[in-house]
Amino acid sequence: MTTSTLQTAENPRTDGYHLAVDALKLNDIQTIYGVVGIPITDLARLAQASGIRYLGFRHESDAGHAAAAAGFLTKKPGVCLTVSAPGFLNGLVALANATRNCFPMIQISGSSERHLVDLKQGDYEELDQLAAAEPFAKAAYRVSRVEDIGLGIARAIRTAVSGRPGGVYLDIPAAVLGEVVDAAAGAATLRRVVDPAPRQLPAPEAVDRAIELLAGAQRPLVVLGKGAAYAQADDQIREFVESTGIPYVPMSMAKGLLPDGHPQSAATARSLALRRSDVVMLVGARLNWLLNHGQAPQWNPDAKFIQVDIAPEEMDSNQPIAAPLVGDIGSVFDLLAERAKPGQIAAPAAWRDELAARSARNVAKMAERLKADPHPMQFIGALKAVRDVLHEHPEVYLVNEGANALDTARNVIDMQVPRHRLDSGTWGVMGIGMGYAIAAAVEKGAPVVAVEGDSAFGFSGMELETICRYQLPVVTVVLNNGGVYRGDDVNPLETDPSPTTLMPEARHDQMIEAFGGKGYRATTPADVAAALTDALAAGGPALIDCAIDPSAGTESGHIAHLNPKGITVGNIASPEQ
């Protein structure tokens, strides 16, 4: 590998900027997401000139979310580049979110001079970024010498993707980037990471223990999490589920691992499945708040859990795990297939029939709701229109965030293909929408539909300009009910809007038109379907502003129970009283 050089003299020299770019290229990093400024502008320019695609964003948080989504979709670390201090802090939310979601990502930030920072002498954008990043990342490293740039990047890559993936912070001070060294000596310091995420096989006795539990179960259940989607062990998972007949429930980002209409899917009987199952196999899913921590009454208090996870420390984090299967998901399912006797694991027909009957009843109820066409338009009507169009376009990636927009879309829009749904995930972070959409379009070269609540869209809406600047095939659907949760709340004492009220007359479609994209205004489900069909056919940046009834939606969507139970506004005495 030949290092880029600053000059073609008898004694060629290079610097930290060139070594960083060469180290990234050596490790097959093809895309960087970021926001430029002091001291990393030239790093972005050089990366672009060297053949790495650089995507410039309007806010570091969005660039970081894009890098995280790239990691989920490709199993390679997405790279986010930020400036020092404020820019670094803006990216930190995305870094923390990537770590919580187990997405491999590297945030590389320039930083101020160490000797000035450590003595708190007031340098430009002074901040001890390494110390700030460490609590929120899987690991954090600082490169203090130019000859360690290659080592730092190699360590960051391996750490991000090995074991349980996560976010890694890499601090490169401005002085290190600008340091000049002999080109040959610099080239010798670069490293290519070999097998950064090796297979981790479970112990055979652990596999036998799980097989025995499943073989004796009367009401077994498989729960597929986004870790199962990330693993890309689609064939092994499907073979296991179908050969055993065990019903399964997919978490939202695992939808599509098996088509949502699969006869063994218990998604539409989820409450019954969780409450009645006696042996539960968690595959890349954690018993966190999204699964009610495995606790009654949502779960059978006598259920025994099998957990497939690459991180042994995850076991027993909420409920006792009767059969821990520590290893990568592909290897676990290979060994399950190898060690289970033919027909040893089989879900009883009575259990499958019980869930199928409940599913049929719930599907019929949903069908009745979907038939309704009230005016003004409701969330469910707009999303049914999106669903019907996407049925004809299984190649489309769906990004989804919000409260009611997220909850309703998850129930209405079914998925047919793995890893084609990206949403707020484990941390429930708002603002992932445009970053995730950009990453999906860039990394997969496919059209993307981002279904956004109007409040959630506001966190990253300026990235419409980024989408238009790069002419990406992203269609944003804003479900606009004029508020956070709802748009009909009122301030009882003043003329200022209530805390949850946004602008009911907002025209997000005109926003994208200002950047050269195509805007649509939809007031009926038919309008939504026509606009989405047209936008996907055009293949460019577009936004559909869907006018939703301001009274539609519920406080905090499906997780209103997480709100503290305190004094409500209606119980506060007015000044006159």
Q: What is the DSSP string of 162-206?
A: SSS--EEEEEEEHHHHH-EEEHHHHHHT----SSSS---PPPHHH
Distance CA 543, CA 507 (A): 10
Is 499 in a helix, a strand, or coil?
coil
Portion of the chain with pLDDT greater than 90, in percent:
89
Given this model, what pLDDT does residue 554 score? 87
Count of other CB atoms within 10 angstroms of residue 335: 22
404-447 confidence digits (pLDDT tens):
999 999 999 999 999 999 999 999 999 999 999 999 999 999 99
- The Cα–Cα gap between 249 and 224 comes to 6
C-beta of residue 483 within 8 angstroms of C-beta of residue 552: no
Domains delineated in the chain: 13-188 (3.40.50.970), 204-358 (3.40.50.1220), 372-558 (3.40.50.970)
User: Virtual CA dihedral for 386, 387, 389, 393, nearest 10 degrees?
Assistant: 120
Average pLDDT of 167-174? 97
Say how far apart CA 434 and CA 85 lie, in whole Å.
Answer: 23
Residue 571 pLDDT level (bands cut at 50, 70, 90): very low
The answer to whether 133 and 104 have CB atoms below 8 angstroms apart is no
Measured distance CA(451)–CA(133) in Å, rounded? 31
pLDDT confidence of residue 108: 98
- pLDDT digits 0-9 by tens, 315-374: 999 999 999 999 999 999 999 999 999 999 999 999 999 999 999 999 999 999 999 888
Above 60 in pLDDT, residue 499?
Answer: yes
Residue 126: what pLDDT?
A: 84
Q: What is the pLDDT of residue 7?
A: 54
Predicted local distance difference test score (pLDDT) of residue 462: 97
Residue 139 CA to residue 541 CA, distance in Å, equals 36
Which band of pLDDT confidence, cut at 50, 70 and 90, is reported for residue 575?
very low
**What does the pLDDT look like over 95-105, one tens digit per residue?**
999 999 999 99
The tens digit of pLDDT for each residue in 105-161 reads 999 999 988 888 888 888 888 899 999 999 999 999 999 999 999 999 999 999 999
Confidence at 512, pLDDT banded by 50, 70, 90: very high
Find the length of the chain.
Answer: 577
Label the pairing between strands 448-453 and 397-401.
Answer: parallel
Residue-level pLDDT at 494:
87
Q: Which amino acid is at 571?
A: N
Please, which pLDDT band fits residue 203 given cuts at 50, 70 and 90?
Answer: very high
* pLDDT one-digit tens code per residue, 210-251: 999 999 999 999 999 999 999 999 999 999 999 999 999 999
Which helix (H) or strand (E) is 384 found in, with range?
helix 379-391
Q: What is the mean pLDDT of residues 31-57?
A: 97
Question: Nearest Cα to 423, choosing from 390, 453, 444?
Answer: 453
Of 433, 426, 427, the closest CA to residue 409 belongs to 433
The answer to whether 244 and 237 are in contact (CB under 8 A) is no
Q: Residue 560 has what pLDDT?
A: 77
Alpha carbon distance 43, 4 (integer Å): 13
- Per-residue pLDDT, 576: 33
Query: Residue 453 pairs with which residues in a beta bridge?
Result: 479
Q: What is the pLDDT confidence band of residue 577, given thresholds at 50, 70 and 90?
A: very low
E-only strand ranges, 438-541: 448-453, 474-480, 518-522
CB atoms within 10 A of CB 178: 13
The predicted structure's pLDDT at residue 200: 96
Residue 194, pLDDT score? 98
Q: What is the overall mean pLDDT for the chain?
A: 94
In this prediction, residue 573 carries a pLDDT of: 37
Closest to 347 (Cα-Cα) out of 220, 236, 241: 220
Model pLDDT for residues 465-477, shown as the tens digit of each residue = 999 999 999 999 9
Helix (H, G, I), strand (E, B) or coil at 52: coil
pTM score of the predicted model? 0.94
3-class SS letters over 314-358: HCCCCCCEEEEEECCHHHHHHHHHHHCCCCCCCCCHHHHHHHHHH
Examine the pLDDT at 16 and tell me if it is beyond 70. yes
User: Is residue 558 scored above 80 in pLDDT?
Assistant: no
Per-residue pLDDT at 2: 43
Instruction: Tell me what pLDDT residue 167 has.
Output: 98
Higher pLDDT, 124 or 197: 197
pLDDT reading at 570 higher than 70? no
Which of 4-13, 44-53, 388-397, 541-550 has the lowest average pLDDT?
4-13
Confidence category of residue 553, pLDDT binned at 50, 70, 90: confident
The pLDDT of residue 444 is 98
**CA–CA distance, 507 with 500 (Å, rounded to integer):** 18
